[in-house]
Amino acid sequence: MSAELPRAILFDWDNTLVDNWPTIHDALNTTLAAMGHPTWSLAETRARVRASLRDSFPVMFGARWEAARDIFYARFEARHIETLAPLPGAAALLNALHARGVYLGVVSNKTGRYLRKEAAALGWTGRFGRLVGAQDAAVDKPHRAPVDLALADAGMVAGPAVWFVGDTAMDMRCAYAAGCTAVLVGD
């Protein structure tokens, strides 16, 4: 007996398919220091970074959030491709699922243009029907809007036959909000 594959699998990006924490951490600490805030350890960055910048920076930096955004993006853009690393087995998994005809997409709170640059740098763009990042939909995850956008080109509707694979509670909330089957990976 073999298990039936889902119609579609939507993946979170960072810490689900790739590791880009060194650059995220560096850009965030550059921003925190420039804005007069204490910097974070890598463990704190990994634990605290969940929401999109558009949702988290106004809370963190108040009225100065747009200046903080510009600092973060300038530092992140300068380094994100050079430190990007696929997680072990990620490429083989994507290749196998793609070969079996499973629709694949990404729903991430990483800004969409950076997400798509990273997928292209890894040679993965062709594996995905749609790569949806922060600011691509009207609202970011955990709202269901990015899920609906990721499935729209394939004419699919979110539901139990669509798996949402991610590493955080935010990913699971997004899966539940869209009615997808939630698959938690990582520790």
The count of other CB atoms within 10 Å of the CB of residue 11 is 27
Residue 179 has pLDDT above 60, yes or no: yes
Q: Which residue has the tokens 């196998």?
A: 96
Q: Using pLDDT thresholds of 50, 70 and 90, give the confidence band for residue 110.
A: very high
pLDDT at 1: 41
Q: Which residue has the tokens 């039936």?
A: 4
Long-range contacts of 60-66 (CB under 8 A, 24+ apart): 61/35, 61/37, 64/35
What would the mean pLDDT of 72-98 be, rounded to a whole number? 94
- Taking only the tens place, the pLDDT of each residue in 2-61 is 568 899 999 999 999 999 889 989 999 999 999 999 999 999 998 888 878 888 999 999
**pTM of structure:** 0.87
Laid out side by side, the sheet with 181-184 consists of 130-134, 103-111, 8-11, 162-166, 181-184
